[in-house]
Homo-oligomer: A and B are copies of this chain.
């Protein structure tokens, strides 16, 4: 039997202390579509997402990402991953089918950094309601209905007080992620790591900061736009609605353009993301940036975040 594999990033489960405000931000400003609301949990996805949801919102006492979910490549991979993880000492919890709307049974476990991951295979791909459905058979919703209107979920970036390699080693060894780019300190430890299971440069990134309040903060979650001009339109929309953001700018690492906006409900940072490159090379050698090269690695040009973590609050993951 071949090794189990992760196919793709699935969704973010966001707990927010202000559900109404988060729902307004993600629906009206970012422009996600609501699939349904079940037991107080709001299930959202972008117009080009196929799965039941790529974001869920739930009221809670503390804003945090409850878990980051990934879809496996084959149905049997969920069990296979459970076995591998348990055998190597990682505690695994099973979640019954239907606990999350539209989703089959799944496992949850924690990274060495205490960030919570979920793995599932079975998921519904509901059609949009007729009046919102695209005229195209390969597109879920009509695009451009409201707000920024991203096409799809893109990636997640974890902030941790641990070294990035302490997290990325686990992702590579246990979960099959491939290192694509990294920032390396003189002692060979990593202060930043960008990894993927797809040709995207990263499905996940690990950002190390010794000042991070915990090992398991969420630096940001991210949605994808098709064109760089869409970022400029996003900046207009965010400014007009009083949403705090940084950008637009362009990263050296990933070559992608960004805006970082804050959900006023939960405080989670959302990277609105576009352009960049894809990695199809099977023998890709990770691009290693030194500390001296970090500046252009993080910001090829444009407006950037304050480098001090204490000025950039994050929520827990």
A residues 226-252 near B (Cβ < 8 Å) are 226-229, 232-233, 235-242, 245, 247-250, 252
Q: How far is the CA of A71 from the CA of B138 in the complex (A)?
A: 28
Check A277–B48 contact: CB distance below 8 A: yes
Check B282–A143 contact: CB distance below 8 A: no
Check B229–A144 contact: CB distance below 8 A: no
Which segment, of A80-88, A107-115, A297-305, faces chain B? A297-305
Among B51, B72, B302, the residue within 8 A (CB) of A235 is: B302
For the complex formed by this chain, how many copies does it contain in all? Answer: 4
Q: How far is the CA of A228 from the CA of B240 in the complex (A)?
A: 18
Q: With a CB–CB cut-off of 8 A, which chain B residues contact A247? A: 302
- A sample of 6 more A-B contacts (CB under 8 A), given A138-B287, A146-B146, A248-B248, is A136-B255, A137-B252, A138-B277, A151-B277, A227-B229, A235-B302
A134 contacts the other chain (CB 8 A): yes
Chain A positions 143 through 159: 1 when the CB is less than 8 Å from some CB of chain B, otherwise 0: 11010000110000000
Max chain B C-beta neighbours (<10 A), residue from A125, A135, A146, A198: A135
Q: How far is the CA of A234 from the CA of B275 in the complex (A)?
A: 15
A161 contacts the other chain (CB 8 A): no
Closest to A241 in B: B142
A174 contacts the other chain (CB 8 A): no
Check B137–A281 contact: CB distance below 8 A: no
Q: How far is the CA of A247 from the CA of B303 in the complex (A)?
A: 7
Q: With a CB–CB cut-off of 8 A, which chain B residues contact A142? A: 237, 240-241
Check B7–A73 contact: CB distance below 8 A: no
